[in-house]
Amino acid sequence: MTDNNSLCNLHRLVWTALMAALVAVGAYLHLNIGPVPISLQTLFVILAGFVLGPKHGAMAIGLYLLAGVVGLPVFAGGKAGIGHLFGPTGGFLFGFVVSAWVAGLGVAGDSRPGWKRLAGYGLAASLATFVVGLPWLKLTLGFSWGKTVSVGMLPFVPGMFLKLAGVVMAYRFLARSGLLKRIAQP
């Protein structure tokens, strides 16, 4: 007989791998518009935080980054390699870890967070990606701050709100369906 705690750990491990895989799938669903592509990754990054909590959400993104570094084609456009972490989009990739952690704070200690709480933490998580990604983009490409914001943030704002609505609905569906009950969020 398996004790409940080890079963919970197994479920969390499976969900961690699933969230990392979904972020990779989101990288394939992209639109090249300049140095930073529009993708569905941020939706899955925030969902990872909501589903797994801050610690394990960030770990899922770390697993995704590790997969890309070791050569699996998981970055936008099917790219891979450590060089991606040091290129123009590297700050956004590192920002995903912070974003998942921030999103996870929105569910930590609250078994039934309301949509306003989820939306607020989802927005903060989205902004965290920009806070880490924009300075990196500016540094690597030598852009002015105006140019950095115009190519690294402004095109993403409308989609950010659409993805935010989608992730809140997806999380609330998963929570109501009972699929997340076996994942304890420490």
For the segment 104-136, what is each residue's pLDDT rounded down to a tens digit? Answer: 999 988 778 899 999 999 999 999 999 999 999
Determine contact, residues 64/77, Cβ cutoff 8 Å.
no
Angle of the 41-69 helix axis to the 115-141 helix axis, nearest 10: 50
- For the chain, state the CA radius of gyration: 16
User: pLDDT under 50 in the chain at which residues?
Assistant: 1
User: What pLDDT score does 1 carry?
Assistant: 42
Length of the chain in residues, anyone? 186
Q: Name the token pair of 63.
A: 């697993």
Instruction: Please report the pLDDT score of residue 3 as a whole number.
Output: 60
Alpha helix locations (H) across the chain? 4-28, 41-69, 83-86, 90-105, 115-141, 145-152, 157-177
Is the separation of the CB atoms in 36 and 92 below 8 Å? yes
C-alpha distances in Å from residue 38, one per residue of 12, 19, 67, 152: 29, 19, 21, 10
| Phi and psi based region of residue 30 (left: phi greater than 0; alpha: psi -120 to 50; beta: remaining) | beta
pLDDT at 185: 53
The pLDDT assigned to 56 comes to 95
Distance CA(30)–CA(123), nearest Å, equals 21
